[in-house]
Every structure is written in structure tokens, then in C-alpha cells.
């Protein structure tokens, strides 16, 4: 594959320093290609281009920008299979998942914001005899920084609304997964998208991401990634009074009430736990189950988890591929060992040594889906984000106790409740101190999606 270059002012360039880094296939450990290893100088060039383009792009009409979003969606949709293949190669996620989630959602993000804009009424309201008009104006140059778990999905989620509102962009994808961001740049280039409106700078977080956050001309930052990095981003951006959006980690609870129809919901529970090898910030990594059904739940859950097809991400039948890298595998394995040290029982799975995935490259970052029981809900394994295919299971003896356990975390991103009684589920959901709670479903955001 050709080297991945920066996209600045409508042209592809190597890093100004000439340096490169490598992107690796996590299923084989093989280098896929080299990537521009940029620094503050490249960010300065991209920002200057974005700033130059800001006036003309900001002056386009909403209708023109909607038309661009639709054109981009059409172009990506026509290449959905390529996007899925690139994403699967770069992340180690199963090709079927990359098609269904990453490629489809990246297209849908552009369509969603185009439709959203069409549906926005003009807002005016009278107040004390005066008429107030609400205008939506561009911020200017915005910095978009994204992680490796859902590369184009999360990048497009930021790019589409930023473009729609007339902003120009300096974006940085994760250094671990640059391929689909590069594909987006190439797609825009083929469409003759106006130069300078979308700029892409590749490289490491402290060298490129930090330079984006620090650049005085960049007025807003949208960041998705680790909580520790989010803290650095916030500490840098806040004193500069930048607009800031942060989406960070999660340690989400999946709560199973005593009336839950286990056979019907097992598929959803496995999905909530192990989609993308558990590397979705919304995955449920703490399963809280009523003690009355705990034992039967464990039997059914372990059976369902063991039925997951773990293996080569490029095979159609694979349901779980690798984690993102060997380094991340080592981090996840350290939590599996910690869970056992803290008194947990391994119900299925384990480290690559104790529970190897067979028939795959030994250089691949493969792990079996792992379930640990018998842990105190307050222990380190049960409260820190692992971001891998590991869930802990905890029994509760009353709904009050379940609420306390669900809320005993410093995170508050998402959760789910499973019950035969939807009203009961809603009542429980209201008591969870978390941003999103799904009842009898998980990651259900699409109209007409699955769930009940």
C-alpha cells in the first residue's frame, strides 16, 4: 500500500520533517504502510490553509453545504466495501462488523446531518416587545481528534456537523488507524472539494494532537479518546477559552433484573459485552445480575460467549477479531491477571497464554472473550476501564443495591437494563446516573433498529 500522507490545502504531502511511522495489521503484526509523522509545523501549515478557506466556506449557504454532505455520503457509499476492508485491516475488527457498523455508519453520519439541517426551523421568539433571532454561525477553524476503535465512524461524526455549520477543519486520526481518514481525504479530493476546508494531519498525539489543541487560531476542539488524554486536552484548551467537546471513557453497567427473559436477551447481552472486542466506549463491561437468577444466567451467558467465532478478521464468519495492538493486548491481559489476584474466578476466556486463540497468526493481538465472576463490585478490575473483551459479573439482592452498584463508578457514559417489564426498566433507568440508558437493547440509535 502507498504511504499515507497529510492532506493540506487540497494536496497530499509528506510530513515537513520527512519522518514517518508505521501502521500495523493487528491480526498479523505486519506493517501495512508508512504514515506521515507530522509535528507542529505541519499543523501550522494545515491551520493556515483552514484559516484561509474559512471566509469563503463560511459564506456558502446552508443548502450548498447540505449538497456537499450528500455528495460526500454518495461517494463513500459507492466505496463502502473498500472502507470496510481498510477498517478491518487497520483495526483487526471482523469484516462483517466493519461493513455493518463502520462503513454504513460513516455514510449515515453525513446523511444524518444533511437531513438534520433540512429539518431545522428558523428560530425567533418575542420577548418584552422585541423579536429575538437565533442565527447559527461558524466558529471558524476547528480541531478534530479521534481514536482507533471506530476510526471513520467517529471522524465522520465530527467532520459532517463541522462542515455543515460552515467551519473549516484540521483533523487528526489515531496514529494506530490512519487508513480510512486518508480514504476520506482522497474521496474529498476526487470530488474537488474546496481546498483548505478539510485538512488532515497524521502523527502521534503529543506531537500533532497537542499542537492542534494549542494552536491559537483553532477555536474549537472535538476530542474522543482516553480519559487521561482528555484531561490534558482540557487543561490546554480551557485557559485559551476554546469551545471543547470531550467524549472519554466508560465503565458501563448492564443490569439484568430478576424477570428478564434470559434466552431472548442473550444475543443482546453478548453484543453489549463484546462488540468490537469490547472496544466501544458504550460496551457494558460490568454485568449486574439479580442473585435469584445469577447461576442460571452464568450458565447461559458463558455458553453464548463461548459460541462466539473468534479468529481471522477477514473471514466472513468471524464475530470477534483482535484488539487494536499487542500493547493493548498486554494491558487487557494485565487486568485479567489483576481480576484473578483480586479474588475473581475465570468463568471463560483468559490471557493469550492460558486461553489461546487457535488457527491465527501468533503475532496477532487475539484474545478470547473473557468473563470473570466473584469479584467485589468496588475492586479495581470492576471499576477501571479495560476497553477490551473482558466483563465482570456481580450479583445483587435488591434493586436498591443494583442502583448503588451501577452508580459506583466515576464514569457516566452509558448503561442498559434488561427486564420483561418495560415500565420497570424505565423506572430503573431513571435511577442510573449515566448519560444514555438502553432498556432491553444496546447501542440502538437508528430508526427502525433492533431491540424491543
Q: What is the Cα–Cα distance from 439 to 418, expressed in whole angstroms?
A: 6
What are the φ and ψ backbone dihedral angles of 171, each rounded to 5 degrees? -115, 150
CA dist 168 and 244 (Å) reads: 16
Stretch that binds ligand TXE, among 218-226, 254-262, 340-348, 441-449 (CB under 6 A): 218-226
Span of 62-70, 81-89, 95-103, 246-254 interacting with ligand TXE by CB under 6 A: 246-254
Q: Which residue has the cell 481525504?
A: 185
If binding is defined by CB under 6 A, does position 205 make contact with ligand TXE? yes
- Tracing cell 447559527 back to the chain, one arrives at 136
Does 23 sit near ligand TXE (CB under 6 A)?
Answer: no
Q: Mutual orientation of helices 179-190 and 80-91 as an angle, nearest 10°?
A: 160
Q: How far is the CB of 132 from ligand TXE (least distance, A)?
A: 36
Q: Does 284 bind ligand TXE (CB under 6 A)?
A: no
Nearest distance from C-beta of residue 84 to ligand TXE, angstroms: 19
Q: How far is the CB of 127 from ligand TXE (least distance, A)?
A: 39
Alpha-carbon distance of 355 to 418, in angstroms, equals 30
Position 5 contacts ligand TXE (CB under 6 A)? no
Q: Rule CB under 6 A: say whether 323 interacts with ligand TXE.
A: no
User: Which residues is 247 bridged to in the sheet?
Assistant: 224
The residue length of the chain stands at: 452
Is 60 or 383 the residue whose CB approaches ligand TXE more closely? 383
Residue of 210, 222, 276, 352 that binds ligand TXE (CB under 6 A): 210
Residue 318 makes contact with ligand TXE by CB under 6 A: no
Residue, CB closest to ligand TXE = 205
Q: Does 147 bind ligand TXE (CB under 6 A)?
A: yes
> Which residue, 193 or 223, has its beta carbon nearer to ligand TXE?
223
Phi and psi (nearest 5°) for 227?
A: -65, -40
Q: How far is CA 111 from CA 68, 161, 357, in A?
A: 10, 10, 39
Least Cβ distance, residue 229 to ligand TXE (angstroms): 3
Q: Where are the alpha helices (DSSP H) in 122-241?
A: 151-164, 179-190, 210-214, 227-237
Residue 178 near ligand TXE by CB under 6 A: no
Return the range that interacts with ligand TXE (CB under 6 A); candidates 224-232, 339-347, 361-369, 391-399: 224-232
Cα–Cα distance measured from residue 152 to residue 103, given in angstroms and rounded to the nearest whole number: 8
Per CB under 6 A, the segment of 33-41, 43-51, 120-128, 220-228 that binds ligand TXE is 220-228
In the chain the first and final C-alpha atoms are separated, in Å, by 44
Residue written as cell 463461548? Answer: 306
In three state form, how does the secondary structure of 74-132 look?
Answer: HHHHHCHHHHHHHHHHHHCCCHHHHHHHHHHHHHHHHHHHHHHHHHCCCEEEEECCEEE
Our finding on whether 181 is near ligand TXE (CB under 6 A) is no
172 lines the binding site for ligand TXE (CB under 6 A): yes
Point out which span in 5-13, 82-90, 172-180, 299-307 binds ligand TXE (CB under 6 A).
172-180
One residue of 16, 139, 232, 262 binding ligand TXE per CB under 6 A: 232
Question: Could you tell me if residue 357 is left (phi over 0), alpha (psi between -120 and 50 degrees) or otherwise beta?
Answer: beta
Question: For residues 367-396, which are near ligand TXE according to CB under 6 A?
Answer: 385, 387
Q: Quick check: 273 binds ligand TXE (CB under 6 A)? A: no
Q: Are 347 and 393 in contact (CB under 8 A)?
A: yes
By the rule CB under 6 A, 277 interacts with ligand TXE: no
Cβ 409 to ligand TXE shortest distance, Å: 13
Taking the complex as a whole, the smallest distance from the CB of residue 174 to ligand TXE amounts, in Å, to: 4
* Residue found by looking up cell 431491540 in the block: 451
Are 334 and 393 in contact by the 8 Å Cβ rule? The answer is no
Q: Does 206 engage in binding with ligand TXE (CB under 6 A)? A: yes
To the nearest whole angstrom, how small is the minimum distance from the Cβ of residue 98 to ligand TXE? Answer: 16
> Which of 5, 233, 406, 439 is the binder for ligand TXE (CB under 6 A)?
233
At closest approach, how far in Å is the CB of 120 from ligand TXE? Answer: 27
Q: State the Cα–Cα distance between residues 352 and 237, nearest whole angstrom.
A: 40
Cβ proximity to ligand TXE, 114 vs 181, nearer residue? 181
By CB under 6 A, name the one of 88, 229, 252, 329 that touches ligand TXE: 229
Q: How far is CA 172 from CA 39, 93, 144, 231, in A?
A: 11, 21, 6, 18
**Rounded distance, CA 452 to CA 449, Å?**
9
**Smallest gap, in angstroms, from Cβ of residue 150 to ligand TXE?**
7
How far, in Å, CA of 233 to CA of 246, rounded? 9
- Catalytic residue list: 247, 281
**Which residues here bind ligand TXE, judged by CB under 6 A?**
145-149, 172, 174-175, 204-206, 209-210, 213, 224-226, 229, 232-233, 247-249, 281, 385, 387
Amino acid at each position: 500500500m502507498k504511504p499515507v500522507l497529510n492532506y493540506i490545502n487540497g494536496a497530499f504531502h509528506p510530513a515537513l520533517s520527512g519522518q514517518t511511522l508505521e501502521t500495523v495489521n493487528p491480526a498479523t503484526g505486519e506493517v501495512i504502510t508508512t504514515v506521515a509523522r507530522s509535528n507542529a509545523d505541519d499543523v501550522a501549515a494545515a491551520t493556515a490553509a483552514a484559516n484561509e478557506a474559512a471566509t469563503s466556506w463560511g459564506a456558502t449557504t446552508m443548502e450548498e453545504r447540505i449538497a456537499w454532505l450528500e455528495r460526500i455520503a454518495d461517494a463513500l457509499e459507492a466505496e463502502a466495501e473498500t472502507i470496510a476492508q481498510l477498517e478491518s485491516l487497520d483495526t483487526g475488527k471482523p469484516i462483517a462488523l466493519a461493513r455493518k457498523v463502520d462503513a454504513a455508519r460513516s455514510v449515515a453520519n453525513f446523511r444524518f446531518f444533511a437531513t438534520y439541517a433540512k429539518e431545522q426551523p428558523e428560530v425567533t421568539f418575542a420577548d418584552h416587545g422585541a423579536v429575538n433571532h437565533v442565527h447559527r454561525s461558524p466558529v471558524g477553524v476547528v480541531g478534530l481528534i479521534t481514536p482507533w476503535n471506530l476510526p471513520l465512524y467517529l471522524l465522520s461524526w465530527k467532520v459532517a456537523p463541522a462542515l455543515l455549520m460552515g467551519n473549516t477543519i484540521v483533523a487528526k486520526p489515531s496514529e494506530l488507524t490512519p487508513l480510512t481518514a486518508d480514504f476520506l481525504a482522497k474521496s474529498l479530493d476526487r470530488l474537488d472539494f474546496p481546498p483548505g476546508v478539510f485538512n488532515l494531519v497524521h502523527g502521534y498525539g503529543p506531537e500533532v494532537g497537542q499542537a492542534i489543541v494549542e494552536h491559537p487560531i483553532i477555536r474549537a476542539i472535538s476530542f474522543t479518546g482516553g480519559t487521561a488524554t482528555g484531561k490534558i486536552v482540557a487543561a490546554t484548551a480551557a485557559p485559551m477559552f476554546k469551545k471543547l467537546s470531550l467524549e472519554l471513557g466508560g465503565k458501563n453497567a448492564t443490569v439484568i433484573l430478576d424477570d428478564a427473559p434470559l434466552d431472548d436477551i442473550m444475543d443482546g447481552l453478548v453484543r453489549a459485552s463484546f462488540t468490537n472486542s469490547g472496544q466501544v466506549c458504550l460496551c457494558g463491561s460490568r454485568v449486574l445480575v439479580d442473585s435469584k437468577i445469577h447461576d442460571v444466567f452464568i450458565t447461559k451467558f458463558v455458553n453464548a460467549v463461548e459460541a462466539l467465532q473468534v479468529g481471522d478478521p477477514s473471514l466472513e464468519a468471524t464475530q470477534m477479531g483482535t484488539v487494536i495492538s499487542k500493547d493493548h493486548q498486554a494491558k487487557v491481559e494485565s487486568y485479567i491477571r489483576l481480576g484473578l489476584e483480586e479474588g475473581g474466578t475465570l468463568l471463560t476466556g483468559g490471557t493469550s497464554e492460558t486461553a489461546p486463540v487457535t488457527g491465527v497468526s501468533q503475532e496477532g493481538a487475539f484474545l478470547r472473550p473473557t468473563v470473570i465472576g466473584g469479584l467485589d463490585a468496588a475492586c479495581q478490575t470492576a471499576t477501571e476501564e479495560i476497553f477490551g473483551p473482558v466483563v465482570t459479573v456481580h450479583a445483587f439482592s435488591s434493586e436498591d443495591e443494583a442502583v448503588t452498584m451501577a452508580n459506583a463508578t466515576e464514569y457516566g457514559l452509558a448503561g442498559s437494563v434488561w427486564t420483561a417489564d418495560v415500565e420497570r426498566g424505565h423506572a430503573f433507568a431513571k435511577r442510573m446516573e449515566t448519560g444514555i440508558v438502553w432498556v432491553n437493547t444496546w447501542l440502538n440509535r437508528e430508526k427502525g433498529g433492533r431491540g424491543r
